[in-house]
Each structure stands twice: as C-alpha cells, then as structure tokens.
Structure 1
C-alpha cells in the first residue's frame, strides 16, 4: 500500500510541475495586463460569464482594435498554445485574402519581434475564417509573407458553439515560415515569441461581429 501511495504522489507532483503559463486568467481579471491597440475604430472587449464559463467578449462594429500582451515565451519549454472560442456572428461573402476583406470574427496571433530589423518580424495568425476552408494558409493581404493567416475554424464551423483548440506553435512556425534545415537553426529562428494578441475586427467590410474567447495559455 505504501508503495502505491508513493507512486501516486510522484505522479501528482509531476503533473503539478508541468509548465503552464495562463496569459488571461479570466476568472481573476488577468486580462488587465493586456494593452489595447487601436488600428481603425475601437472594438469593445469585456470579461463576463457566457454559456457556462468566464470569457473575454469581443464586439466589433466597423472597427479594428485588439489586445496585446508583450511577453517572451520560450517555445522549447512551452510550445503548446491552448484556448477556446465561440462566435455568434460570421462575416459571409468576404474575400479574406484581399485587402477589402481582411476582417476576422476572431483571431489570436503570436509575433516574433525583429527589433530594428523590421523585415525579420514575423506573425502567425490563428483565425476563425468566415469563408476559407479549415486548415487554409495564406499571406496577409497588407503585410505579405511576413504575416501568415491560418484558418483554425472556417467554412462549416458552427456559430454559438464552443471550440477547444491546441496548437504546437513552435512546429507551426517552422511549417509556415520554413524549416531552416537543422534543429539548431530552427531553434535560433523560432525558439522565442515576443508578443501575443487578440483581435476581432470588421473595419474593412464595415459589419458587426460578436465573439467570445476563453482562457489562453501555453503549456508543455
């Protein structure tokens, strides 16, 4: 019996020791550490209960603003980004690969800051697409190949339903921006991200969107 207790305690200690970085902690108003970034008009973000969980509610009415968290994340230690999201309104009949249709009811994106060498800055956008197929990948209409758009949800995804997501960001960066040819070179290029952002925007199409985000966290 004692042996099994020791094994159980060891297992619990290993589970508790796993690295988890909760970036929002919505039940504790953790979103307060995020900074508003306005591009065109102001989307409204608020923390509230919705359909059984604490959420970050996002309302966009012909606007484009987001919430930004400047935080260096070591993707070798915590490569997995997890979150949940739900949308109530989609944006049909948009060409999201064009400048006039570059609007998304929900998106979470990560940024590698190139510093003074702005051409080295890279951003991967995980988007809820209104008209692209799930899994579609394309260059941003405004920023080109430095900003990649990846449809995590797309045509056929249901409104009013929570979706749970988990992505290996480190591997996604390699897959979308290119394998550097060796593990060492990939680590040099993609080990760290410097910024995470949330945005629901409709400034190009001039419509309304309503979306909800659950806690956003990185883990082993």
Structure 2
C-alpha cells in the first residue's frame, strides 16, 4: 500500500508540473548577442503551427491533454499578422527558445487582445489556474541552488523527461475577475512559476493593448534576487483546469535593451 501511494504521488507531481512548465532544449536556442543587436522581435508572420523545427513560435502540446488551437490570422484594423489562440477545456503553448542576458536585454513588450476572461478563473486556486492570455519569460536557473526538498522534486522530474525544465518563470497574465492588476503570486501548483497580473477582467477585453515590462525589475520583485539568463519566451491560452472556453490574439513580441 505504501509503494502504491508513493507511485501515485510521483505520477501526480509529473502530471501537475507538465501543465506548468515550458520545456526548452539548451542546444536549440536563438542566442541574442548584444554586440550585434539591440532588440529581437518575434513576428507572428513567421508562425507555422505545423513546423516542428520552427526557430520562433514553435507549437508544443501538453502530454495527453486536449490541445488549444493556435492559427495565424490578420488584424482587421491594419492587416498586421497575428496569432489567434482558442481554448476549450484545453492547453498548449507556442514557444521561442532563446538565450539572452536579462541585465542587458531588460525589456519585453507585446501586443494582445482577449475575447473574455474565464468565469471560474482564479490564479490562487488549482481549479482556477487558467488564463485567456499569458506571456511567459523563462530562465536558466541552476538546480544546485535549490533547497534539499526542491532538488529531490527536480531530480524526480528529470527521471521522466530529457528536456531542460525551467526552474524560474515570469508569467505575465491577463488575470481573471478576482485577479487585480499589479498582483503577483506563485502558481498554485509550483512556486517555480510566478504570476504578474498585467491586465485583469473584461473591462478592456475586445481591444488591442500594448504592454511593456522590465524583466530584470520584475524578476527581482518576485524572486528577491538577480535573474539568470533568459531561456525562452512563450505565449499560452489555457482553460484545462476550469473546463471553460476563451479566445485570445497575440501580436509581435519584442525583447530589447534598456
């Protein structure tokens, strides 16, 4: 009976973490050289959900869960290319693996729009841990800096996957009704993921908005330390925990120097 409980606990942890973390291969990244560029833009015009080897905006599913749908679209107001993301009790991501120094490439800005937030969404609860739109920034955190218990958990995850697992992540989210702009909180599944609420509720839904955040300052704010190298940028629309439906739209994402 004890062995069964142990196996069940391990399986549960793996299932939970698979819905939280974006996996990147360290040898498969775009490297931002500050001597050669001041900024780098992820252009939705280059999005191809069927290209498994795409350098930017690479589609990734989450295990056996139903998949959110990402398509390339066109913004009505100006004809600009966009990514249209739809989720119906589902989850998946579009990821760009890259390497950048956050003390140099400090800023990330992006354009987004949602149709509506999730009625049951609440970032403090596991069954409410869904968002119409997220922009992730992940980091190359050294596992040796983890506490004893966290190292055990990390090694457990590594037993079941060959991917690099980001141990630090800034999750910029369009929060649901209970989530207030400016709020920060750990994911209810793991404090390896930290939420920063940039927009919230339906008052500004249906309109395009441009956001700009300082990655260095936000990382220091939520983790209380300086960040390691950036390992990737990801967009996500998910509703697998609430079982509800939503749609979001993403424009260009740019990472740039201060």
> What is the TM-score normalised by the length of structure 1?
0.80
Matched, 1:140 2:140: no
Q: Distance in 2 between matches of 1:94 and 1:172?
A: 23
Equivalent runs, 1:1-220 vs 2, <5 Å: 19-22=38-41, 24-29=42-47, 32-33=54-55, 34-39=57-62, 40-52=65-77, 53-114=80-141, 117=144, 119=150, 121-131=167-177, 132-143=179-190, 145-155=191-201, 157-179=203-225, 186=226, 190-220=227-257
**Residue in 1 that maps onto 2:154:** none
Q: Distance in 1 between matches of 2:216 and 2:255?
A: 11
Q: Distance in 1 between matches of 2:85 and 2:228?
A: 30
Contact 1:19–1:77, Cα closer than 8 Å, also in 2 = no
| Structure 1 residues 15-61: Cα deviation after superposition (integer angstroms, max 9, x where no partner) | xx870111x21234488433322222111111110232321110111
Task: Give ranges in structure 2 of 5+ residues lacking alignment.
Answer: 1-35, 151-165
Task: Give ranges in structure 1 of 5+ residues lacking alignment.
Answer: 1-16, 180-185
> What is the TM-score normalised by the length of structure 2?
0.69
| Structure 1 residues 133-186: Cα deviation after superposition (integer angstroms, max 9, x where no partner) | 11111110111x22111110013641111111000101110111003xxxxxx3
| Structure 1 residues 114-139: Cα deviation after superposition (integer angstroms, max 9, x where no partner) | 36557581111000011211111111
Greater per-residue strand proportion = 1
**Which shows bigger deviation, 57-66 or 116-125?**
116-125
* 3-state SS, counterpart of residue 217 of structure 2: helix
* 3-state SS, counterpart of residue 83 of structure 1: strand
* 3-state SS, counterpart of residue 175 of structure 1: helix
Shift of 1:213: 0.5
Contact 1:170–1:191, Cα closer than 8 Å, also in 2 = no
Shift of 1:207: 1.0
